[in-house]
Amino acid sequence: MRLDIFCKQGKLQVLDDGTMQVKALFGAGVVWSVPYQDVTSFTTQPEGTMAASLLVRTTNGSHFVGTVAYRNLKKIQEVFPHLPINEVQKTKWYQDIAARTHVKTYTSEKEMQRDLEAATQYGWMLQSTTGIAGHVNVGRTTTAAALTGGVSLLFGASRSKDKITITFVRTPEWLAQNG
């Protein structure tokens, strides 16, 4: 065995027979397996100061490994010195290569529209939405009315913003490519 390291899904192994695989925890079988000559690169995304999410890119798609300690990334580089390990920084939730679902509550329609458009570019789709209408804040309305002598009631009651909660999931195409 050329490599045997722990990862979130179990163990990432490079075997002497020419395969790279992720073996599930507790001997539950192989999650995925590819010939290691098909591996073209690795992509990591920081998951704190000690570890990163790892994606193995091959000629036939990508395979998700999960969280791997940084010290083990060095071991991977020793086995595959000719292949790049590309580190990407996530700045938005939809850029997280490890995430499969995401739930977000919006009060701004503009922000929701921006996220919807961007998320589709990163392999996300809408699974469900729920809406909650804003409610009248009695305390704020009566306080404003008392302070303004009732004039503020001409402008309407104080209301909280409407909220829309969206559940995002990965598209079947993205899951097929990225495991």
The pTM for the full model equals 0.64
Q: Tokens for 54, please give them.
A: 């790892």
Largest Cα separation within the chain, whole Å, is 84
Q: How many CB atoms lie within 10 A of CB 134?
A: 12
**CATH of the domain spanning 3-89, picked from 3.20.20, 2.30.29, 1.10.510, 3.40.50:** 2.30.29
Per-domain residue ranges for the chain? 3-89, 101-172
pLDDT of the residue at 4: 94
Residue 138 token pair: 């009695």
In which residue are the tokens 């969206």 written? 166
What pLDDT was estimated at residue 99? 87
**E strand or H helix at 144, and its extent?**
helix 138-148
Per residue of the chain (179 residues), what is the pLDDT tens digit? 899 999 888 999 999 999 999 999 877 799 999 998 999 999 998 887 889 999 999 998 888 898 999 999 999 999 999 998 988 887 788 888 888 899 999 888 899 899 989 999 889 998 888 876 655 555 555 555 555 555 444 455 545 567 888 899 999 988 887 76
- Nearest CA to 54 out of 92, 23, 13, 86 is that of 86
Contact 178, 31 (CB under 8 A): no
pLDDT of 80: 93
pLDDT at 179: 64
